[in-house]
A and B are shown apart, each in its own frame.
Chain A
């Protein structure tokens, strides 16, 4: 694995105006929601990054910030060392060709009035120009994602959910990107199809040295597919590291609670599932998880915990593990 740094997010924040009063909202005053709070991340080439957390934790917002479907409120985004935070129009084009996104809801990601062939050819034409045999390339792309040429003349409504999701992946691949962001690509799929898509993604990352960001709330899936995991809670990164570090040497109490909540089948039969009480709150002061944390200290409600490095790539933001303050 080469060590080229592809994407770097430096303390990126996204603040939404959510005041119930529309006037205040449009003036940008009043109630605000910090969806993503000082998010920093370095993505090196060839890695598969897993972004996990509950709904509303800011994972999808982060993805939209990276592809610039949303503008950041604070912070910088660097792609291959270039600052793209403020870039627009033609300056963005090379970046857009290299970074592609696959959305969660495949039925709204594809144009219902275009056939699969038109959808794919449109992307291929953008990449290769009007060269002959674009259709051959389209068929190749479909084959990569495990689909046959017979679906080319079909409209999205005539495809099953699994087929649609794979057309979405094929379209993203048409641009020959080096980085793909996948927002919950399999959560709408049946388990047997989920395994098929995961296998395709794994194959792609190995054969084409593709870099991926895989957003999911399924810990087991992320553990299986990714080689770096980022756990988010209420807009902040709470823990990051390799699957082994995050899943088996878990440091943050929130990650522990998430892992404990996964059903374990027969082995879990007579044991109660540990339950997190309360709802996600963003107090702004102190650790966002403190109100639900079983081990919260007074300091947790006052000061935002800083990120501390444990072994290897393993980093965690928790006062309990900060030197001298822990139990």
Chain B
């Protein structure tokens, strides 16, 4: 397999809060191999979307990446200048955002936006670009590609818009696709269509995908491996089987139990007390300590070191109790 396609090392991203730079992502390291589908799981504020934006080089001032490296295809993306980054963005790495409504410019037709993307990133002529645009719209399962090309974003339904934005992300054959909660804004039936679409794209194109979600069940259906983030740190990472069948971090365990399931009849929901930590509220210890039922003195004082059993990594002091 060789070296991984994407390797993030000790990534730290900070934003100013009341005049002080406060870390939203506090030293995360992970990697994606060619062709893998990796889930990034976490609640709002856990740093998952910010990590994705950092990979795309889209952290806008006053926010900043304060430390770490992002190796992609043999280059550190952090050392690239804006012009070089623009060549990577959209061409080699592309992103699908959560809200298909805001992905598109409402005053331009789908066709003109798609052609713009294709012609900016490839040397295709107008006619070739149009052919490619129709191809990707068909690939994502839209019924009348040429009609969709002439539509304005508001003329499409939510599901069609999200299909189109996935199509746009794939238009230049990227090597890495980042999907940031692509189905959260959609109905379950449309979500099922998207899951099927992602699976089919996986089989046909074998694109490496970083799939960001807060839905554990959805992640398990789609991904090979998953990373669980909490309070800007990776608390657990491993194969989907590891996380579901043998979760080591109390947060992962509680996450699986706090969602009601259809196939379980009467069950008590586990409630995780308290709230996810606010930016900058985490002191020295484990970020989950204030909400953790198993926390003891050591959790309050020192942040747990990462342990690894094979590919299964987790950061918790539980074993030392």
Contact = CB atoms under 8 A, between A and B. Distances in A.
Contact of B192 (A194, A196, A224, A274): A274
A224 B267 contact: yes
A70 interface: no
A289 B102 CA distance: 30
B221 A193 contact: no
Contacts of B195: 263, 273
A276 to B, nearest CB: 5
B189 interface: yes
A195 B188 contact: no
A162 interface: yes
Interface string A272-297: 11111001000000000000000000
B205 interface: no
Nearest to B266: A224
Contacts of B263: 264
Interface of A: 54-55, 160-163, 190-196, 198-199, 217-221, 223-225, 244, 247, 257-266, 268-269, 272-276, 279
B308 interface: no
B17 interface: no
A225 B267 CA distance: 10
A54 B188 CA distance: 8
Nearest to A292: B189
A207 B263 CA distance: 28
Secondary structure at chain A's binding surface: helix, strand, loop or mixed? helix
Contacts of A269: 220-221, 240
Contacts of B272: 192, 195-196
Contacts of B188: 54, 217-219, 258, 261-262
B306 interface: no
Interface in B177-226: 187-193, 195-196, 199, 214-218, 220-221
A220 B262 contact: yes
B244 A265 contact: yes
B43 A190 contact: yes
A286 to B, nearest CB: 21
A261 B275 contact: no
A220 B281 CA distance: 33
Contacts of B44: 161, 190
Q: Which 8 A/B pairs are nearest by Cβ-Cβ distance?
A: A224-B260, A261-B192, A265-B217, A195-B258, A192-B272, A190-B43, A263-B217, A265-B220
A217 B187 CA distance: 7
Q: Which of A190, A194, A247: most chain B Cβ within 10 A?
A: A190
A221 B190 CA distance: 18
A267 to B, nearest CB: 8
B269 interface: yes
A55 B193 contact: no
Contact of A220 (B43, B245, B260, B273): B260
A279 B155 CA distance: 14
17 contacts: A190-B43, A194-B258, A199-B269, A217-B187, A217-B188, A220-B259, A220-B261, A261-B189, A261-B191, A263-B217, A264-B263, A265-B217, A265-B220, A272-B196, A275-B192, A275-B196, A276-B189
